[in-house]
Structure 1
Amino acid sequence: MWKLVIADDEPKIRRGIENVLNWDRFGIEIVGQAEDGEIALQIIKEKKPDIILLDINMPFLNGLNLLQKLKEIDNKGIVIIISGYDDFSYAQKALQYNVFDYVLKPVSKKNIEEIIVKVVNKLTENEKENNYLEWVKRQLTENREVLQKTFFSEWFNNKLSDEQVLKEMSFFDIEFGRNIGIMVIKIVEKLNIEISSSNWNIELLEFAIANILKDEFKNLELKYIFNDDKRNIILVSKINDMVWWISVAKEIQTEIYKYLKCNVLIEQASVSNSVLKIKDEYTKIINSVNEKKKCSSMVLLTIKYIEDNYYSNDLSINYISNRLEVTSSYLSKLLKKETGLSFIDYLTKIRIKKAMYIMEDPAIKIYDVADLVGYSNQHYFCRAFKKVVGISPTEYKRGK
C-alpha cells in the first residue's frame, strides 16, 4: 500500500478528501492528517508517506515553509498542493520545490482522481526503476571482481580509449596513487619438461598461481589479478615500497615452485604518476616475454637465474654453468647467440633496469641503489649506469 498524509487546516477539506475516493482501490492508505504545518512535518518525519496532499496556506508553518523543511530532510514523498483561487499565484511559487501537481478548492472527485491516477503511475514507475537500480547494484557487488578483470583485459587489448579507461577507473573507484606496479607471469612449457610431459593442466596452474599472488600480496591495499587473452597472469598493484616491489619477483617464483613445482617467467615494471602508462609497460613486458620464449631452454634457465640473482656481487657465468652442468664457454656462446648479449652485458642490463625502477622512489640514495642491484662500488655502478642509459644516476633522478 502507498501511504498518504493529508495536511489542511480545514477539517471539512480533510474529511472531504478522506471520503472523496475509495483509496483502497488505488492501493493507498491514509496514515495521517494534520491541521497545521508543524504537525504535518512531524507526521511526515514519522510516517514517511509516499504521497502528501498539502494545503498551501496553513497556520504556524505555511505550505512554502513546510516544503523547504521537507527539502532539508530529503523527503521522498510526492507532494500535491491544495490551493484556493486566492492562493493560486502563491501556489505557483511552490513549483520551485518540484511539487508534482496542484488541485484547486473546492476539491472535486474528478480532479483529485485524475491526479491520484498520475501519482500512482509515477510511484509504480519509480518503484520499478528503484528495483532495477537495486538489482544492478547487487549484480555489480556480486560480480565486481569479474567486471574489473574484464575492464583490465579490454584496456590491455586496446579496446578502450584513454577517456574510457579513466571513466571506468572512476566507476570502480580505482585510485593507485603515485607508484603503480605491473607484473606478468608466464608459464613456459620448455622450462617445465617434466610436468608438461605428464598431467599438464595449464588452466589449473594459472588458477593456482593467481591464488599464490593473492596470498603473497594480501597486505597490499589495492591489487588486481587477472588473465589476459594470451595466457599471461597479470598483477596491477599500488606500490608503497619500491625496493620491496623489485625484490618480490624472486619470492613469487620460489612460492610457485615450492607448491606447484613449476618454473615461470616473471617480468615486472613500475609507473609513477601516470596510470595510463601502465598499458604501455604491459606491452613492453609482453614483447620481452615473447622474445625470451624464442630462446632455448638452456638460455631461458640462464636468463632466469640472472634475473633471480642479479643483486649478488659474485654472480658469474661459471657458477651458472656448473648448476646447468655445461661448460662456461658453451653457455657464453649460446647466450650471446640467442640474446645478442654477453653474460656481463646481460647482467648489467638487468641490474640497470632494476636500478631505474628503484629510483622511482625519490628518497632512496644512489649508493643504496648500487648495493641493492649488486654493485659493491658506487663509482662502478655510476659508470655502468651512464654507459647503458646515457646519463648518470644523479641526472636520471633529477629528471624524475
Structure 2
Amino acid sequence: MWKLFVADDEPKIRKGIEKILDWSEFNIEIVGEAEDGEIALELIKKKKPDIILLDINMPFLNGLALLQKLRDIDNKSIIIIISGYDDFSYAQKALKFNVFDYILKPVNKKDLEETIVKAINELNAIEKENNYLEWIKGQLSENKDMLQKTFFSEWFSNKLTDQQVLKEIEFFNIEFGSDVGIIVTKLVEKLNVKIMEEKWNPELLEFAIANLLKDKFEELEPKFIFNDDKRNIILISKISNVPKWIKEITHIEEEITKYLKCNVLIEQSNVNNGVLGIKNEYIKIISSLNEKKKSSPMVLLTIKYIEDNYYSNDLNINNISETLEVTSSYLSKILKKETGQSFIDYLTNIRIKKAMYIMEDPTIKIYDVAELVGYSNQHYFCRAFKKVVGISPTEYKRRK
C-alpha cells in the first residue's frame, strides 16, 4: 500500500482528512500525523511516506522550513500543500521546492480525491520507471562482461572517438591506475595445421586460449579478455609487478603448448601514459605480429624460441637448430633472409625491448634488469643497450 502522512496544526483538519475518503479504496494507509513541523520531520524520517499532506502554516517549524529540511535529507515523497487563502503567498513560495500540488482550505472531498488520484498516478509512473531502471541495472550486471568486450573491440576497430572511449570507461567504472599491461595472442594457422585437422577448429582454439588466459590471470583486477575483429586475443590488465608481468608471457606459452598443443605468437607491452595510450600499444603490437606472420613456419618457430627463452644467458643458435632438426648455418641464413637480422641481433633486440619494459618500474636496479633479460654481465648489457637505444640504461631510466 501507499503510505500517507498528514501534517497540520488543526486537529479538526487532520481528523477530517482521515474521514473524508475511504483511503483503502486508493490502496493508501495513513501512517502518521503531526501538529507541528518539528514533530512531522522526525516522523517523516521514520515512516518514509509516499505522500505528504502538508499545512503551509504550522508552529515551531512552518511548512516552508519543513520543505527545506526535507530537501536537505533528499526526501522522495510527493508533497501536497494545504493552504488557506491568507497563506496563498506561502504556497507560491513552496513551488520552488517542487511540491506536487496544493489544496485550498477548507478541504473538500472532490478536490482532495482528484489530487490524490493524480499523486497515485505519479507514484505508479515513478515505480514503473524505477522497476525499469532496476531491470536495466540487472541486465547490465548480467551482461557486463559482454558489453565491456564489445566496447574494447569497437575501440580497437576505430569505431569510437577518444571522448566516447573516456565516457565508456567512466560508465563501466574502469580503474587501471598508472600501469597497464596489454598482451596480444595470435593463433597462426600455418603452425597448427595438424592439430586443426585432427582436433580443433580455429574458433574453438581461440576460445580455449581466452579461457586459459582468464584462469592464468584470475587474481588480476581489473582485467579484460576479448577478441578483436582480426581474431587476435587481447588481454588488458592493471599490473603492479612489472618484472613478474614480463615473465608471465613465457608461462602462458608453456601452458598453451602443454594443454592445447598449439603454437601461438604472443607480444606484450606496458602503458603508463593514460588509458588512451592502450590503443597505441595495441596498434604497435598488431603491426609487429602481422610482420612476423609473413615469415615461413621455420622462421616463426625460431622467433618463438628466441622470445620464449631470451632470459637464458646461454641461449644460442645451436639450441634452436637442434630443436628444429636443421643445421645452424641453414637456420642463420633463413632467419637473416626473412627478418633482415642475424640471430645475435634479433636476440639482442628482443632482450633490450624486454629490458625497456622492465625499466618502467623506477625501483628496479640495472643489474637486476640485466639478469632478467639474459645478461650475466652488467657491463655487456649496458653496451648492448646503448647500441640499440642510443643511450645508456641509466640515462634511459633518468629520462623516464
**In structure 2, C-alpha distance between the alignment counterparts of 1:46 and 1:174, rounded to whole Å:** 37
Letter paired with 1:134: E
| Residue equivalent to 1:294 | 294
% identical aligned pairs = 76
Structure 1, 252-261 or 93-102: larger mean CA deviation? 93-102
> Is 107-116 or 231-240 further displaced after alignment?
107-116
In the alignment, is the contact (CA less than 8 A) between 1:4 and 1:52 conserved in 2? Answer: yes
Contact 1:223 1:237 in 2 (8 A): yes
**Residue 229 (structure 2) aligns with:** 229
Report the equivalent of 1:93: 93
For 1:171, the equivalent position in structure 2 comes to: 171
Most deviating of 94-103 and 36-45: 36-45
Q: For the residues of structure 2 that align with 1:377 and 1:42, how far apart are their CA atoms?
A: 76
Q: For residue 386 of structure 1, what is the aligned residue in structure 2?
A: 386
Are 2:377 and 1:377 aligned?
yes
Aligned equivalent of 1:278: 278
**CA drift at 1:189:** 2.0
Question: 1:258 Cα deviation (Å)?
Answer: 1.5
**Superposition pairs for residues 36-75 of structure 1, below 5 Å?**
36-75=36-75
Partner residue in 1 for 2:137: 137
> Which one is further off, 236-245 or 317-326?
317-326
Cα offset, 1:90, TM superposition:
2.7
Could you say what secondary structure the match of 1:275 adopts? coil
SS at match of 2:167: helix
Deviations 1:326-364 (A, max 9, x none): 111100111111111111111111011101111111111
| Alpha-carbon distance between aligned partners in 2 of 1:197 and 1:91, rounded to the nearest angstrom | 81
Question: Deviation per CA, 1:17-37, whole angstroms, max 9, x where unpaired?
Answer: 234344444443333333333
CA separation in 2, counterparts of 1:74 and 1:340? 69
Report the equivalent of 1:306: 306
Q: CA deviation at 1:12?
A: 2.2
Distance 2:158 2:81 in 1: 55
Partner of 1:112: 112
User: Please, which moves more after superposition, 237-246 or 285-294?
Assistant: 285-294
Contact 1:292-1:300 within 8 A present in 2 as well: yes
- Secondary structure of the residue that 1:230 maps to in structure 2? coil
Residues 85-124 of structure 1 show CA distances to partners (whole Å, capped at 9, x for unaligned) of 2222233333333222222211233433332233222212
For residues 27 and 93 of structure 2, what CA distance do their matches in structure 1 show? 30
1:80 counterpart SS class: strand
Preserved CA contact (<8 Å) 1:153 1:228: yes
The equivalent residue for 1:364 is: 364
Matched, 1:331 2:331: yes
CA RMSD of aligned residues (A): 1.7
Three-state SS of the structure 1 residue aligned to 2:212 is: helix
Moved more, 78-87 or 146-155: 78-87
In structure 2, the partner of 1:81 is 81
Give 1:121-270 correspondences, 5 Å limit: 121-270=121-270
Structure 1: gaps spanning 5 or more residues: none
The question of whether the paired residues in 2 share the 8 Å contact of 1:3 and 1:31 is answered with: yes
CA–CA separation in structure 2 for the residues paired with 1:146 and 1:323 = 41
Helix, strand or coil: the match of 2:198?
coil
Equivalenced residue count is 400
Q: Counterpart of 1:367 in structure 2: which amino acid? A: Y
Distance 2:42 2:237 in 1: 51
Paired amino acid for 2:194: E
Q: Which moved more, 1:120-129 or 1:354-363?
A: 120-129
Per the alignment, in what secondary structure is the counterpart of residue 151 of structure 1?
Answer: helix
Supply the distance in 1 between the matched residues of 2:55 and 2:135 (Cα, whole angstroms). 37
DSSP-derived class of the 1:274 partner:
coil
Contact 1:162–1:276 at 8 Å: present in 2 too?
A: yes
Provide the rounded CA distance (Å) in 2 between the counterparts of 1:362 and 1:43. 59
| Cα distance in 2, alignment partners of residues 357 and 238 from structure 1 | 15
TM-score under structure 1 normalisation? Answer: 0.95
Give the Cα–Cα distance (whole angstroms) in 2 for the partners of residues 69 and 105 of structure 1. 24
The unaligned stretches of length 5 or more in structure 2 are: none
Q: Could you tell me how far apart the structure 2 residues matched to 1:161 and 1:356 are?
A: 30
Pick which of 57-66 and 314-323 moved more: 57-66
The one-letter amino acid paired with 1:320 is I
Partner of 1:234, secondary structure, is strand
Measure how far apart 1:67 and its partner are.
2.4
Identify which range, 294-303 or 55-64, moves more after superposition: 55-64
Q: Name the structure 1 match of 2:340.
A: 340
* Separation in 2, partners of 1:245, 1:20: 74
Larger CA deviation: 71-80 vs 86-95: 86-95
Distance in structure 2 (CA, Å) of the matches to 1:298 and 1:19: 93
User: Matched residues in 1 for 2:391 and 2:273: separation?
Assistant: 22
Question: In the aligned structure 2, how far is the partner of 1:348 from the partner of 1:233?
Answer: 27
